[in-house]
Amino acid sequence: MTGGAEGVRRTRQRDAVLETLGERAEFVSAQELHALLAGSERAVGLTTVYRALRELDRAGLVDVVRDETGER
Backbone angles phi, psi at 60, to 5 degrees: 80, 20
User: What range defines the domain where residue 33 resides?
Assistant: 12-58
- Residue 38: half-sphere exposure toward Cβ, Cα within 13 Å: 11
Give domain status of residue 67, yes or no: no
* Residue 38 to residue 36: CA distance in whole angstroms: 6
Number of domains in the chain: 1
CATH number of the domain encompassing residue 40: 1.10.10.10
pTM (predicted TM-score): 0.78
| CA dist 55 → 42, 52, 67, 69 (Å) | 19, 5, 20, 22
CB 14, CB 8: distance < 8 Å: yes
Single-letter code of the amino acid located at 3: G
Give domain status of residue 39, yes or no: yes
Give domain status of residue 70, yes or no: no
Give domain status of residue 41, yes or no: yes
Give domain status of residue 7, yes or no: no
Give domain status of residue 44, yes or no: yes
Give the model confidence (pLDDT) of 6-38 as tens digits.
567 888 999 999 999 999 988 888 999 999 999
